[in-house]
Chains A and B, each alone.
Chain A
Amino acid sequence: MRPIIVPPCQAACPINTDVRGYVSAIARGDAEEALRVIRRVNPLPSVCGRICTRRCETACRRAQVDAPVAIRALKRYAADLAIGQSFFTRPLSSYPEKVAIVGSGPSGLVAAHDLALLGYSVTLFEARPVLGGLLSEGIPKYRLPKEIVQREIGAIVSLGIEVKTGVRFGKEVSLDGLLWDFDAVFIAVGSGKGIVPQCDGVDLSGVFSGVDFLKEVDRGDRQAPGRRVVVIGGGHTAIDAARTCIRLGVSEVTVVYRRSLEEMPAGKEEVLRAEEEGVRFVYCAAPIRFIGKTRVERVRFARTALGEPEESGRRRPVPLEGSEFDLEADAVILAIGYAPDAEEIKEAGLKVGERGTIVVMDETGATDITGVFAAGDVVTGPMSVVDAMASGRKAAGAIHRYFRRIPDNAFDRLVSLRPLETSVTAAIQKSERQEPSLLPREQRTTSFDEVESALDHEQARREALRCLNCGAGATVDGECAACLNCVRVCPFGIPAMGAQTVEIDVAQCQACGICAAECPACAIHLKDDARYPMRPGVDRVLEKAREESPDIVVTGFYCCFRHPLGPPVERHALSWIPVLCLGRLRESDILYPFEVGAEGILLVSCRDEECRFGRGVRLLAERVERVKTILDDTGIGGSRLSVVAGDDECDRFIRGIERLGINPVRTGKRVAA
């Protein structure tokens, strides 16, 4: 098991999504490829593109420069282009084993998806009439529209999964029964039971659990619980319950949390959204009593101070004596956590851990009963959608190995690149993060319409271009002559002399390609780039252009940072090749189109002082002069090559080429490649 070094975003993602891969595809304008990259590991991309807890963004190294790349929004952008479209088909050959999956939340869905693709017959049991777990009933639709959830689930089920809704494990089916009919059972029933605080008056009517409340709202069984509602808690559930109350028409909603905003498990952004909608927040207060005759009327709180850090790393709230105060309330929503239903698990004969969870052996999800696996919130307690998905994936792999008797080898160990050094971050150009637009506030407080919209095309391209392409930088091969040109030319000071050859630290390289273009030995290669990365593109573009315009073909190279939306102008006879900074073009890249017959070449770069990599434009200018000399020497003529800025200049250049006529290489015999 060798550690594989990956960008921090990928290492942080529980399903190890190739973030850089799909973000760079969006930057190139290839959203379809982006979606393919995402779908390789994620069958719920539109869901995750909306509500993922985005650990990738917390890890993103762009944050060292300004703000992390809006990775989640980019995922949504790509995923929404083809929601529910199937990317995979059921394999032709299949295995004889049958698997029962209990619970259709993200954990169960991913396990079902993976096992179906591996070729097993899968039956999905779900107690509720709808599939999806908390995605369908729980997470409010203003954050996660239900049609989207159903369309993505539809694509999963279409892999040939048998679905049995309205069947409750422990009631309609038992573990013994399932083990009789199936070769393995995977349990992912989630954490459905709200936790109730130990204080007087919790049994009063009007005091209820947040998760239950949200589920009921999604089922359409819930009206406004009162005029004044107090929500107790600081996680997703608390904020979701409060914002849902606003949408149901509750006029006064107060969230009370026992710690400070800093320690709140719900993100600051969510708190901000709730505040915009009129939710009031009270921090550092804990309930001590619910007061009322039969129905709750008031809640008594004590102020808290933050003491020593607890296991979770957050500081323990300690009630302060004599600090009590009351809040009036017609209804109280308890959102201080939820846990699995321990009774159900115990009855099935599974080992129950603390907080009612199922005890498993390791990350394969194997339980102490052979052939029975478990994962998701029922094992971990409340976590997140992507964690549930990851655990479902691991369990599916373990079930496959169990059937096929493949030893449980250790999983690939992905290790993150080191942080950027400050000398490097200081040299990186800043660029503003693109934020999705939000529904106007009036609409938010009166409807369950989705609040956040997708990034538009321009925003998506701009945002994708903010990615630093971590780990996709330069490598040096054995041809290195130790000439030190790269050491002298790198805008970030990264190449350094090693024992024999230059070494380029993959963790720091910014993948600008400048050193590779300058290397006199052609010994530097950008990761994933072929030896002549530009050539296939040039060949393709020229062939197509020649069909359309047999006489004059002009090839244009443009900088994606300058023109994120695509070619600067569209003209007949002009075919474009996008390049991430023209500073990576070598002289031979510029000469090549002439060799294969182009009449002219246009280069559209940034202004010198705006170059994303500082010196790309200056070096390009030097190389262009060199190529012009070669063109003059060979008889093609240097005036067929030009660096231009605006549309007018493009037109003028094309007219000039028309006057010059056909590339003399084409009128002569073809040259050998």
Chain B
Amino acid sequence: MIVAEAKPFDEIKEMVNGYRKVLVLGCGSCVTVCMSGGQKEAELLAAALRIARGIERREATVDAKTILRQCDEEFVRQVRDELSSYDAVLSMACGAGVQGMNEWLRNVPVLPAMNTRFIGLCEGQGKWVEVCAACGDCVLGVTGGICPVTSCPKGILNGPCGGNKKGRCEVSPDVPCAWVLIYERMKERGKLEEFKKERAAKDWSKRQRPGRYTHRP
């Protein structure tokens, strides 16, 4: 799942400064699941903007709404007329949503309220961790289902390196060594022979941007 987090409030406030009538638009998919950009957060951001504008004695309308997905035109089309009555839409979707919205709305600027962070997993209520770097050449099949490209700060394919101290990475004691985790997992599965094999360099050309995918080429 895509995880995003709200930008600092001042930055958002500044961004919508020139617009009188603003709609904070939540997205009902990934960012709702990671609690940062669903209806609840949209309402809260709208209230904060109203308060801030009130203090600055600026007459302004800031409303909140959420649609199921901002990254598909069909969903956006359903609310196009309604959105067109605003001077700006402040999108709480990931970067894909914001770009799609700008493409399909045209007459209203759509501004990003979020910083899109990563593809991640939930680690318990309200906590997410990055687990996939979208490298385009997946190695999970030979690493016990743990991604060294994402979870090892150095992204090495044949670890651990000498910087591992008691299972922690030298980069920070908060970061577990991904390669120790891979070792433990493969040991548990009786795959230590495989662990010892050398892994060839990855094909980084697959990561050339912008990526494209066609379901039935």
User: Do the beta carbons of B32 and A587 come within 8 Å of each other?
Assistant: no
Complex: how many Å from CA A485 to CA B31? 13
Can you list, as one digit per residue, whether each of A626-658 has a CB less than 8 Å from chain B (1) or not (0)? 000010011110000000000000000000000
- B216 in the interface (beta carbon within 8 A): no
**Contact between B51 and A519 (Cβ–Cβ < 8 Å)?**
no
* Number of A interface residues in the complex (CB < 8 A): 34
A630: contacting residue among B9, B32, B34, CB under 8 A: B9
A634 touching B9, Cβ below 8 Å: yes
Contacts of B29 in A (CB 8 A): 481
- B70 CB–A CB distance under 8 Å: no
Does B61 interact with chain A (Cβ within 8 Å)? Answer: yes
Q: In chain B between 48 and 74, which residues have their CB closer than 8 angstroms to a CB of chain A?
A: 48, 50-62, 66
* A630 B44 Cβ-Cβ under 8 A: yes
Q: How far is the CA of A76 from the CA of B78 in the complex (A)?
A: 56
Query: Hey, which chain B residues are within 8 Å of A664, CB to CB?
Result: 54-55
In the assembled complex, the Cα of A485 lies from the Cα of B127 at a distance in Å of 11
Contacts of B62 in A (CB 8 A): 672
A483 touches B54 (CB 8 A): no
Contact of A488 with B by CB under 8 A: yes
Whether, in the assembled complex, A171 has its beta carbon less than 8 Å from a beta carbon of chain B, the answer is no
Contact with B along A465-503 (1 / 0, CB 8 A): 000000000000001011111001100000000000000
Complex alpha-carbon distance, A668 and B51, angstroms? 10
Contact A634 B124 (CB under 8 A): no
Asked if A586 lies at the interface with its beta carbon under 8 angstroms from chain B, I say yes
Contacts of B38 in A (CB 8 A): 481, 483, 520-522
A588 contacts B57, CB within 8 Å?
A: no
Report yes or no: B28 in contact with A588, Cβ–Cβ below 8 A: no
- B81 to chain A minimum Cβ distance, whole angstroms, is 21
A670 partner residues in chain B, CB cutoff 8 A: 54
Q: Is A199 an interface residue (CB 8 A)?
A: no
Per the bound structure, the CA–CA distance linking A620 and B182 in Å amounts to: 38
Q: In this complex, what residue of B is CB-closest to A627?
A: B44
Interface segment out of the listed A50-58, A259-267, A321-329, A590-598: A590-598
Q: Which listed residue (A479, A483, A518, A668) contacts B57, Cβ 8 A?
A: A668
CB neighbours (8 Å) of A587 from chain B are 40, 44
Please classify how large the interface on chain B is, using the bins under 10, 10 to 19, 20 to 34, 35 or more: 35 or more
Judge whether A521 and B28 touch: CB under 8 Å: yes
B44 / chain A contacts, CB cutoff of 8 Å? 587-588, 591, 630
Residue B33 CB within 8 A of the other chain: yes
Is the beta-carbon distance between B47 and A595 smaller than 8 angstroms? yes
> How far is it, in angstroms, between the C-alpha of A489 and the C-alpha of B10 when the chains are bound?
31
* Chain B residue at minimal CB-CB distance from A587: B44
The docked-state distance in angstroms from the alpha carbon of A671 to that of B47 is 10
Q: Quick check: is A350 within 8 A (CB to CB) of the other chain?
A: no
Query: Bound state CA distance, A41 and B55, in angstroms?
Result: 52
B55–A668 touching, CB < 8 Å: yes
- Residues of A close to B124: CB separation below 8 A: 488
Contact between chains at B28 and A481 (CB < 8 Å): yes
Question: In the complex, A588 Cα to B43 Cα: how many Å?
Answer: 7
Specify which chain B residues have a CB less than 8 angstroms from the CB of A586 in the assembled complex: 40
Complex partner residue of A665 from B10, B35, B54, CB under 8 angstroms: B54
Cβ-based interface call for A669 (8 A): yes
Are A485's CB and B55's CB within 8 A?
no
Residue of B8, B36, B52, B61 with most chain A CB atoms under a 10 A cut-off: B52
Query: Closest Cβ of chain A: how far from B86's Cβ, in Å?
Result: 13
B143 at the interface (CB under 8 A from A): no
B91 at the interface (CB under 8 A from A): no
Query: Which residues of the other chain, A, contact B47 by a CB distance below 8 angstroms?
Result: 588, 591-592, 595
Closest partner residue, chain B, to A594 (CB atom): B51
B40's partner among A489, A519, A636 (CB-CB below 8 A) is: A519
Say whether B151 faces chain A, with CB atoms less than 8 Å apart: no
Instruction: Select one of B40, B52, B57 contacting A669, CB under 8 A.
Output: B57
Q: Of A485, A523, A591, A668, which is within 8 A of B54 by CB?
A: A668
Residues on A close to B: CB < 8 A? 479, 481-485, 488-489, 518-523, 586-588, 591-592, 594-595, 630, 633-636, 664-665, 667-672
Other 5 A-B pairs with CB < 8 A, given A591-B44, A595-B54: A520-B39, A523-B39, A634-B48, A669-B54, A671-B50
**Residue contacts A-B, CB under 8 angstroms, 26 given:** A479-B28, A481-B32, A482-B33, A483-B34, A489-B125, A520-B33, A520-B35, A520-B36, A521-B32, A591-B44, A595-B47, A595-B51, A630-B48, A633-B48, A633-B52, A635-B51, A635-B52, A636-B55, A664-B55, A668-B54, A668-B55, A669-B58, A671-B53, A672-B50, A672-B60, A672-B62
The 7 lowest CB-CB distance pairs between A and B, nearest first, are A633-B9, A520-B38, A671-B54, A668-B57, A488-B125, A483-B33, A481-B32
